[in-house]
Amino acid sequence: MEPINIYSGSEVISRIYVEEGIETLEGYLEGYQHVFVVMDGEVAMKCPVAYEVSQMLNRRGVPGMLVEATEEAKCMDTVMNICGWLLDNGADRDALVLAIGGGITTDMVGFASSIYKRGVRFAHMPTTLLSQVDAAIGGKTGVNFGGYKNMLGTIRQPEFTFICPQVLESLPMEAFQAGAAEMLKTFMIEDNGHYHAAVDFLKRLTADFIAVCEDDSTLSYQEDKWPEVLAARLHELTPLIAAAVRVKAGIVSRDQFENGERRKLNLGHTFAHAIESLSHKYHNDIDHGHAVALGMVYAARLAERLELAEPGLAAAIERDLDESLLLIINPYPLERMAGAMRKDKKAADGKVHFVLPRSIGDVTVQDLTVDEAIGLLS
Ligand code: GLY
């Protein structure tokens, strides 16, 4: 597949390769003399495709480091460990640091690479759907700090991002759903017919999964069956991943440093962050994907109340998410969410940039206070 490019003006500043297999990765590393690989330790153990890549890198004599990729470990200590390891292994200004893992890994490795010796080149091989369609695209790097997510970081583009959907075969169902929600979010921002194609794909996957679970007559979801269900339909997912990457690459090319259009990528995230922080506080364990899915429904409801969207949009989105197994019941009342939203780092002058869908494929940004938004939704 032709690379999908990110531009600054007419200059290509990052390339994204979406490939069916891993064989071509070695070729993309050819031009780089000194490659270093930093990999999520869990991925190294649990993802056979990533293991194959690490074997190839071993054969090439590429030094490797494993990191813990959790929200707790996504901090300056880990970044300093990566920098220390690069120093100990003689990484110089001509180094290329390859990150293999999900968004936490690519964020940390991108950040370490952007400060080590005032910046060395880096590349990503994202191993989750979420990082393939979102986190590893567009050059946002960073770590959590002071109790806030991604409070320290840079925007610096990877040399390239190598996306191989085959790695998703070992991805747990919950992590897949997080990525699926971000993929639908992307198509709600810019559609080109992909939103409904993605929903149809997710419905087929859901139907397959339910059929496999029913076969076992236990009448409960058996998440260990998920990988085989996904593997059978992975070829249908590849063009959807490429389409989502194309949308994001276009937005980043037009607004790399998030002064305007890039904010649209936060669709559903103001509500989602509030749900996630409450879930963290009350140990309810709501993952990012389900929080984003709920967040998109709230955003659509708000758009309807502001008469930006036709009545019925929120209900239609809700139905699509439900049939894609992405919808849960939100245990938090709006007033509780308001408290968490006021603390969101994106609140400036008391106003929050709410990204609101006018229709599928068309969103707008409205600055509202949290009280205005909650008042309209109540
Ligand atoms: N994940 C949102 C962005 O990259 O801008």
Q: What is the DSSP string of 25-71?
A: HHHHHTT-SEEEEEEEHHHHHH-HHHHHHHHHHHHTT--EEEE--ST
Active-site residue, selected from the candidate residues 121, 288, 290, 301: 288
SS3 227: helix
Q: Where are the domains of the chain?
A: 4-170, 173-251, 261-377
CA distance 256 to 264: 12
Active-site residue, selected from the candidate residues 236, 258, 323, 372: 258
Mean pLDDT for 167-178 is 94
Cβ-Cβ contacts under 8 Å for 72 (sequence gap 6 or more): none
User: How does pLDDT run across 331-350, given as a tens digit for each residue?
Assistant: 999 999 998 888 765 556 78
Mean pLDDT for 51-63 is 97
Poorest-pLDDT segment among 82-86, 157-161, 321-325: 321-325
For ligand 1, atom 3, name the residue with the nearest CA.
Answer: 265
User: How does pLDDT run across 144-163, given as a tens digit for each residue?
Assistant: 999 888 999 999 999 999 99
Ligand 1: does its nearest atom lie under 6 Å from the Cβ of 265? yes
In the residue annotation, 280 being an active-site residue is answered as: no
Q: Are 103 and 140 in contact (CB under 8 A)?
A: no
User: How does pLDDT run across 238-284, given as a tens digit for each residue?
Assistant: 999 999 999 999 999 999 999 999 999 999 999 999 999 899 888 88
pLDDT score of 217 more than 70? no
User: Rounded to the nearest whole angstrom, what is the distance from the C-alpha of residue 211 to the centroid of ligand 1?
Assistant: 35
Ligand 1: does its nearest atom lie under 6 Å from the Cβ of 273? no
Ligand 1: does its nearest atom lie under 6 Å from the Cβ of 185? no
Q: Which of 150, 256, 259, 262 to mutate to test the pocket of ligand 1 (most atoms within 8 A of CB)?
A: 262
Active-site residue, selected from the candidate residues 74, 140, 264, 290: 140
Average pLDDT, the chain: 95
In the residue annotation, 248 being an active-site residue is answered as: yes
Q: Which residue has the tokens 């495709």?
A: 49
State phi, psi for 227 to the nearest 5 degrees: -55, -40
State phi, psi for 224 to the nearest 5 degrees: -70, -15
The domain 4-170 having CATH identifier 3.90.1150.10: the answer here is no
Poorest-pLDDT segment among 37-51, 276-290, 318-332: 276-290
Under CATH, which number does the domain 261-377 receive? 1.20.1090.10
CA distance 370 to 57: 49
Atom nearest to 135 CA in ligand 1 = 1
